[in-house]
Amino acid sequence: MAVSTSVRNYMIVTLAYWGFTITDGALRMLVLLYFNQIGYTPLQIAFLFLFYEIFGIITNFLGGWIGARLGLNVTLYAGIGLQVISLLMLTPLTQDWPLWFAVPYVMTAQAMSGVAKDLTKMSSKSAIRLVVPQEAESRLFKWVAILTGSKNALKGVGFFVGSVLLTLAGFVASLWIMAIALLLIMLTGFLLPRGMGQIKKKIKFRQLFSKSKEINILSAARFFLFGARDVWFVVGLPVYLQSVLNWSFYEVGGFLALWVIGYGGVQSAAPVLLKYLNRG
């Protein structure tokens, strides 16, 4: 019975994270296409996403420590709540706002979205450890690969959803639709036990760093890797497709969606691929 309860809790967390992931991808596409449409330059659009990445990295670093102290259900639904606030912050925005105010304002909203993303991601991945025994490393790797791959696939779906919403409903209405959907997802938090994943033992700050110098260096390198990816893929490529090739919102969102869904599929298949390669 305990195992089935753990699986049930994990599925609730995962489904909530999937719902969040779709809105996260949709929000990125909404902000990108809308601000490109009203005349922002690619550099200005890139600045809009700067705080999203920076605050996401900070949250990713501290998230495990916060989750251990407060519980995974608290961090998960705090992340979803922050995403709702981020969406609602953007609703009064118009193209008449002066640039000197609009850019920092949107950067602040995106910073909250970056914190929200990594809080929910950390919570869902950590929940796997409550289901899979620590000694079953192969099973843990498989479950993490499936979750990570599905996350990226659903983020691709979110890209397409964002482009469709922008076309059919407009920028402000799309934000309200996603905010209401996330508020409904937050109701699932009442189904989770209090203190899920909470550790009574006090964790010291220095324990956030790995004892391996190599792992710490790789973690720092990850910042530049993801930053470089987002500059060309999340900003540069969609702007080029829309501005230079005159692709519609549907076409830009659909192309990026297929790309990311394929990327997520490869991640999900990583355990099978590694098993096949090691066999040879």
Which residue ranges in the chain fall short of pLDDT 70? 1-7, 60-71, 127-149, 195-213, 215-216, 219, 223, 226-227, 229-230, 267-268, 270-271, 274-275, 277-280
Q: What is the pLDDT of residue 132?
A: 57
Indicate the fold that domain 2-279 takes in CATH. Growth Hormone; Chain: A; (1.20.1250)
Residue 64, both tokens: 């495990």
Closest residue by Cα to residue 123 from 158, 86, 83, 79: 79
Burial pattern 21-35, b for ≥16 Cβ within 10 A else e, equals bbbbbbbbbbbbbbb
CB 231 within 8 A of CB 145: no
pLDDT at 135: 46
> Could you give the CA distance from residue 233 to residue 216 in angstroms, rounded to a whole number?
26
Amino acid in position 51: F
Phi, psi of 94 (to 5 degrees): -135, 165
Taking CB atoms within 8 Å and a gap of at least 24, the contacts of 41-49 are 42/235, 42/236, 42/239, 44/99, 44/103, 45/235, 45/239, 46/231, 46/235, 47/103, 47/107, 48/103, 48/106, 48/107, 48/110, 49/110, 49/230, 49/234, 49/235
> With contact defined as beta carbons under 8 Å apart, do 44 and 103 qualify?
yes
Domain boundaries, the chain: 2-279
| Token code pair at residue 183 | 């508020």
Closest CA to 195 of 94, 25, 76: 76
List, as own/partner pairs, every contact residues 250-253 make where C-beta atoms lie below 8 angstroms and the sequence separation is at least 24, other chains included: 250/163, 250/164, 250/167, 252/29, 252/33, 252/163, 253/29, 253/33, 253/159, 253/160, 253/161, 253/162, 253/163, 253/164
The C-alpha atoms of residue 240 and residue 157 are separated, in whole angstroms, by 21
Sign of the C-alpha dihedral, residues 211, 217, 222, 227?
positive
Position of tokens 């501005």?
243
- Under 8 Å between Cβ of 84 and 179: yes
pTM over 0.85: no
Query: Residue 253: how many CA atoms within 13 Å on its side-chain side?
Result: 27
Half-sphere exposure of residue 234: CA atoms within 13 angstroms, side-chain side: 25
- Amino acid sitting at position 262: G
